[in-house]
Chain A
Amino acid sequence: MSAPCAIRRRPGLSVIGKRSADRPDRASLAAARLNRARQALACCRLCPHRCGVNRLAGERGFCGAGVRPCVHLAQVELGEELVLIPTFAVALSGCDLRCAFCITGAQSWHPRAGDRVEPAALAGQARAALATGARTITVLGGEPTIHLPFLLQLVAALPPEATLVLKTNGYGLAAARRLLEGLFDVWCVDYKFGNDQCARRLAGALRYTATVRANLRHAARQTDLIVRHLLMPGHVECCWRPVATWLGTHLPGVKVSLRTGFWPGWRVGRCPELQRPLTAAEVDRARALAAEWALNLIP
């Protein structure tokens, strides 16, 4: 990872997230959108898979998610970006991507991995974590945006003064992001692939580039945005270069978290180039590209 970079502060905003005075009453916003979120599951088109299944009636689409998610992890963590930690991380099971390099695949992909936990119980754990030093609450997956009703209930239950972080793969469609507008202080969005071919081959993703860029533009307009990219062996030129180019051109100054701790595991056996760690040369090349586009890398 690059040397620590000063986080650029927009005038009037806190280091991360918005000032509490600028935060809308998100509990009310979330509660008001709950019915729409439930109805969206009746013919699910929340992501580009557009399965159209009726999740309320028990039908399952690509992600296999139902109406209520399971939680496979809820704990204080230090592995996220420095501006976010310590964070109380809540991980919902189920995902609309199938990344061959996923390091939580056993829990992330299985929508019933973990336990059913009520939003109020999670909120209690979050309060306890905040009381003992956690700075933020991060909701992640799998992919949390496939569980819109639960997500809204959780946001409504969480302390209103807490800084909420949404960690998402950026693969949701407009229907999903409209329902999440104004609820999270920080969007931490993965920009995984620099082209649709790699996205299709490595993650089974359709129309990836257009979808994630739309989410990035949306998030940049209405929240504090961190763009994450997991540097992958053999994918510096085909993936990181286009990502860096686009970010430098269209979102100059956005916080970028370049993750260089690639972990060869899960199903990398399907992709020969992923069956090894990154080389020092690849990391150096990636940092050089970041410098070329004057990206705002954060630790």
Chain B
Amino acid sequence: MRAGNKIPRARPPCGKAASGCGLPRNAAAATRPVDAPQASAAETRATRPGDSPAGLTAEVLILPDGQVLAHNLTPAFAAVLHELNPRDPQMSPRLGAATAARRRSQPDHAEHGLPRHPPARNPIPPP
């Protein structure tokens, strides 16, 4: 019952259109028949106690024109998609909301004399 979020054409860091160049071959989701059930979900195992009973789940569908649809968008997966296209108008505000919310829930380490640990800017190693 949930719609996917539409993300404009994914672009690798080189800036070229993502028509098969610049990304490892295993980065794209496999094409599936349109009447197949959603069985080939990209899945990451929960690493924290109290996570989803079946582990964290996120799904992505890459259309032939390069559009990427994402469903069950976890923060970690949003970060991955943001790396693909940092200027994407759908993903940036969502990641921003997640970052802002996380900061509100955490104390300011600088105020307590602890070093800041900024998020990794390149969580995905280059091919």
Contact = CB atoms under 8 A, between A and B. Distances in A.
Interface stretch (A11-19, A52-60, A70-78, A155-163): A70-78
B123 interface: no
Contacts of B6: 1, 260-261
Given A71-B53, A82-B94, A268-B34, A230 B78 contact: no
Interface in B30-52: 32-39, 46, 50-52
B97 interface: yes
A117 interface: yes
B23 interface: no
Given A79-B71, A85-B94, A265-B36, A72 B101 contact: no
A132 B54 contact: no
A186 B48 CA distance: 28
B93 interface: yes
A141 interface: yes
Contacts of B106: 133
B1 A76 contact: no
Given A75-B72, A75-B74, A95-B1, A265 B98 contact: no
B34 A275 contact: yes
Interface residues of A, number: 60
Nearest to A143: B1
B93 A82 contact: yes
Contact of B4 (A117, A128, A132, A263): A263
A130 B74 CA distance: 15
A266 B38 contact: yes
Given A103-B38, A266-B38, A261 B5 contact: yes
Interface of B: 1-6, 32-39, 46, 50-54, 56-57, 59, 61, 63, 67, 69-75, 78, 90, 93-95, 97-98, 101-106
12 contacts: A1-B90, A74-B51, A76-B75, A86-B97, A86-B101, A103-B71, A133-B102, A133-B103, A140-B2, A260-B3, A261-B69, A268-B34
